[in-house]
Amino acid sequence: MDTASKGYNSKRLGIFSRFSEMRALIAAYRRSPEARVRNAIAEVLVAIAEIESALGKPLQDLDILEIGSGQHSLELAVLSNGNRAIGIDQENCDDRLNVRNVLRTMKTDGFIRTAKTVVRKSMGFDKAKRKEFLRQRGIASFPKLTIMQMDAESMSFPSNSFDVIFSGAVFEHIANPEQALRESARVLRPGGVFNCGFHLYTSDSGCHDARIFANR
Ligand SMILES: C[S@@+](CC[C@H](N)C(=O)[O-])C[C@H]1O[C@@H](n2cnc3c(N)ncnc32)[C@H](O)[C@@H]1O
């Protein structure tokens, strides 16, 4: 695989694949938010158990970085409980649906990402997901999160800034994962833990291939 200049799933999709992908995504979002939220929480709880076992202490009162926290940020919301947690993402993760924010997303992330975000938000999928998150976690309001727009390959944090780094379903998207790993090692304190989960390469364009999404 050539990762020198682009991520493995940066292959351009034609209009039919895009349409297929959009339909499959909407169908996936329509399916029970209950199960999707439960899975997301379960995955991050497994990661937390692994991190605590590697650290030899509870995940409390620590500086945590999530790489590629995305627009849903449920994992960051769990990690931030009792810790100082920051997320970074190369895309605009400001979740307000207004003209200014849509234009900003268009400028930084392009038309496809903007269209997906607008559809998700205007159809209420994000709202339903957050509401379900509050219900499952038994909390009244979603925690205030800090998410910075930043490339994992070139982070602006000083060296030795974090006790823990967490990343899920991101490294397969990064154009130069080796550089992102070097950066992760730089910002992680000695004795720190990096918990990194990613999809395996199952095809030319990986698990995020629209044909797989659309069951073809
Ligand atoms: C499949 S999403 C996963 C989001 C979230 N971690 C989750 O599990 O729901 C991949 C995320 O990685 C981000 N990403 C890709 N390349 C990145 C990079 N070089 N630096 C920071 N974030 C990146 C994307 O913008 C996207 O939000």
Cβ 169 vs Cβ 135: under 8 Å: no
Edge-first strand listing for the sheet containing 188-197: 146-149, 84-89, 63-67, 162-168, 188-197
More reliable by pLDDT, 72 or 189: 189
Pocket test for ligand 1, best of 44, 90, 199 (most atoms within 8 A of CB): 90
C-alpha of residue 215 to centroid of ligand 1, in Å: 23
Tell me the per-residue pLDDT of 106-143, one tens digit each, with 9 for 90 and over: 888 888 788 888 888 888 888 899 999 999 999 999 99
Mutate to test the pocket of ligand 1, among 6, 37, 46, 89 (most ligand atoms within 8 A of CB): 89
- pLDDT for residue 216: 53
**With bands split at pLDDT 50, 70 and 90, how would you rate the model's confidence at 173?**
confident
Write the CATH number of the domain with boundaries 15-213.
Answer: 3.40.50
User: Among residues 11, 29, 33, 37, which one has the least CA distance to residue 210?
Assistant: 11
